[in-house]
Amino acid sequence: MASCVVASCSRLRSFQAASMRECVSVMVAQCRGKTAACCVRPRESSTFGLVHPSSRPAPVVLLASVLKPVDDTRMYEKFGRTLAEAGYAVHIAGRASKVGAPPAVIGLHPIFSGYRLSLGRLAAQWRYWQRLQQLQPDLVIAHAPELLPATLLWRWFEPKRAFVYDVRENYALNIRTQQVYRGWLKRLLANGVAAIEKAAMRRAAAVLLAERSYAEELGYLPRQHTLVLENKYVAPPNASLPAAARFPISLPPREQPLRLLFSGTLSTLTGVFDAIRFADQLRTVWPRLQLTIIGYCQQPAELQRLQQLASANHSWLTLIGGAEPVPHAAIVAAIGQHHLGLLPYQPHPSTWRCIPTKLYEYMANALPVLIPPNQLWATEIRRLSAGCVVLFDALLNADELEQLACALINEKYYPAGPAADALWQSEAPRLLAAVAAALPPPRAATSHLGAAL
């Protein structure tokens, strides 16, 4: 592969003590008065095999988060669809989605809407508890640490109940190192999250990690039942992978348009402003360059700045979303319409040892990529000839920009086709095995997960 040139709370208020005592009293009464329930579903075919015969009641699995929408990619498209295909009765609780409701084979239960830093997150706890009582799940998969206290309480009333904790981020590290919270509140939240996670992991039937690096960062993991399930790419319904005849891929000549893509979370940390600055420089040697930014920006100040930049540079810069989440299918469609994907992440303890989900998405769809000098990511793209390493925050002179453009044009990308090992298909069978092992008899045969780190 050619060597490329430089280019590289609002405060949350507590409920009053009397109100909390009343809520807990209602929870206790509900727990003692409920009887288990299950539903029966017809036998379904599964890409990864059937888990149990159709003659048995389908185990009810509840996937739950607060900030992630009910149609979140990991919860719905990966976990939810995989489990539903295998015959489980799947329900998802999470943030309300503005996207049209997916097929009704999976039950969707919005428990939160509004701003991330709001009292609505406390109300979401109560709505989650209500779903636990209404659905009486055989297994809960908690995708957020703030739902662990209620999940532990639910299990305390019935110790045979099972739950799995899906670690999607190193939350305590994020709180300590990202500038969302400050001072004593930052320390309190980080220590509180770590304490809750430790207590939950000791009681969880399994702990799932979205990143391999968490196995080293989280010293309190129960190794005997911890499993890595990476955030690899799953195509939305009716989406297709690139045709084999396209490979290897070359970029268009400089007299033609060059379409750059930045997708996913829009923030300073993920490099969205570096992407704009980099594209603006590259336009001097690629005059018909276009940059599309598609995704969701959670920080109001950053969103305002982003919208101002998009307005001032509308001739070559397009912003899709920003103020609200964008459907995953729209992002996948955009991947197929662009020439280069940008990953200008800034070095940071919370992200630098992780593989971004969009890197899997780009590689699975054979989109050439530009990445910063991150050794972990560089190893992946070198293996596939998938792109180049550039310094996004560098100011390039005319000669350096010319040399960069030549290097990008001369490169042949994905000579062996898209990355098959970037697909969720490699992770799904292990999710099914973990769920089958976590379910108490007689719902599924018990098995030993083992250390899979």
User: pLDDT, tens digit, for every residue of 126-179?
Assistant: 999 999 999 999 999 999 999 999 999 999 999 899 999 999 999 999 899 887
**Per-residue pLDDT at 15:** 33
pLDDT interval class at 4 (50, 70, 90)? very low
- Class of 42-230+427-438 per CATH? alpha beta
**Per-residue pLDDT at 387:** 97
**Per-residue pLDDT at 65:** 97
pLDDT at 41 over 80: no
pLDDT at 19 over 50: no
Percentage of the chain surpassing pLDDT 70?
Answer: 83
Asked if the domains 42-230+427-438 and 244-422 are classified in one and the same CATH topology, the answer is: yes
Range in 160-164, 182-186, 287-291 the model is least confident about: 182-186
**Per-residue pLDDT at 101:** 58
pLDDT at 343 over 80: yes
pLDDT interval class at 183 (50, 70, 90)? confident
Residue 268 CB coordination number (10 Å): 15
Strands 387-389 and 369-371: parallel
pLDDT interval class at 28 (50, 70, 90)? very low
Q: What does the alpha-carbon distance between residue 333 and residue 77 come to, in Å, rounded to a whole number? A: 16
Q: What does the alpha-carbon distance between residue 216 and residue 404 come to, in Å, rounded to a whole number? A: 37
pLDDT at 11 over 70: no
Range in 7-16, 64-73, 238-247 the model is least confident about: 7-16
pLDDT at 357 over 70: yes
Range in 210-214, 272-276, 289-293, 321-325 the model is least confident about: 321-325
What is the domain partition of the chain in residue ranges?
A: 42-230+427-438, 244-422
**Per-residue pLDDT at 18:** 38
Q: What does the alpha-carbon distance between residue 227 and residue 231 come to, in Å, rounded to a whole number? A: 13
Phi, psi (rounded to 5 degrees) for 30: -65, -40
pLDDT at 452 over 90: no
- The residues, ordered by sequence, that sit 6+ positions from 16 with a Cβ below 8 Å of its Cβ are none
For residues 156 and 18, the model is more confident at: 156
Say whether 386 sits in a helix, a strand or coil.
coil
For residues 118 and 161, the model is more confident at: 161
* Helix and strand numbers, DSSP H then E, in the chain: 14, 13
pLDDT at 199 over 50: yes
92 CA to centre of own chain? 15
- Class of 244-422 per CATH? alpha beta
**Per-residue pLDDT at 36:** 34
Residue indicated by tokens 């336009």: 283
**Per-residue pLDDT at 402:** 96
Mean of all residue pLDDT scores within the chain: 86
309 CA to centre of own chain? 27
Q: What does the alpha-carbon distance between residue 340 and residue 354 come to, in Å, rounded to a whole number? A: 21
**Axis crossing angle, helix 375-384 with helix 357-364, rounded to the nearest 10:** 10
Strands 226-228 and 258-265: unpaired
pLDDT at 249 over 60: yes
